[in-house]
Amino acid sequence: MNWVILVVVSMGDPFIIPYKTFEYENACVEYVNSVDNASTLAVEVIAIAGFNDPVTNIICVAEYELQRRREG
């Protein structure tokens, strides 16, 4: 099962960080919580959401769950 990073912003639609998937939930959570990855995550978020849409949450979700919600 693949896990992805979902970013929730206050004014726009939630989005996933492209090209970043994890085989296990723990690996995703560790990546998101690591200070070493903060600048990489920031660049990815700014590239998609810009500077003016505050991030309200960053979570790891199963990729199939996102696909299921899009279809249903």
Q: In the structure encoding, which two tokens stand for residue 16, read together?
A: 């996933």
Mean pLDDT computed over 2-6? 96
Confidence of residue 72 (pLDDT cuts 50, 70, 90): low
**What's the pLDDT tens digit per position in 16-55?**
998 899 999 999 999 999 999 999 999 999 999 998 899 9
Confidence of residue 70 (pLDDT cuts 50, 70, 90): confident
Q: Which helix (H) or strand (E) holds 58?
A: strand 55-62
What is d(CA 46, CA 51) in angstroms, rounded to the nearest whole number? 6
- Smallest CA-to-CA distance from 13 within 48, 43, 51, 44 is with 48
CB atoms within 10 A of CB 3: 22
